[in-house]
Amino acid sequence: MTRIDFHSNVADRLTYTCRLVRKARAAQCRIVLLSRDAEQSAALDEALWTFSATDFVPHVAAPHPHADATPVILIADDSTDVPHHHVLINLSGRTPAHFARFERMFEIISADEEDKIAGRDRYRYYKDRGYPLTHFVAQAV
Instruction: List, for residues 73-120, the tens digit of each pLDDT value.
Output: 999 998 889 999 999 999 999 999 999 999 999 999 999 999 999 999
What own/partner pairs with CB < 8 Å and gap ≥ 24 does 118-127 have?
118/93, 118/94, 119/6, 119/8, 122/94, 122/95, 123/6, 125/95, 126/4
Q: CA 55 to CA 63: how far, in whole Å?
A: 24
pLDDT in tens, 21-35: 999 999 999 999 999
Residue 64: band (very low, low, confident or very high) from pLDDT cuts 50, 70, 90: confident
Output the furthest CA–CA distance in the chain (Å, rounded): 42
Q: Give 111-137 pLDDT, tens digit per residue.
A: 999 999 999 999 999 999 999 999 999
pTM above 0.85, yes or no: yes
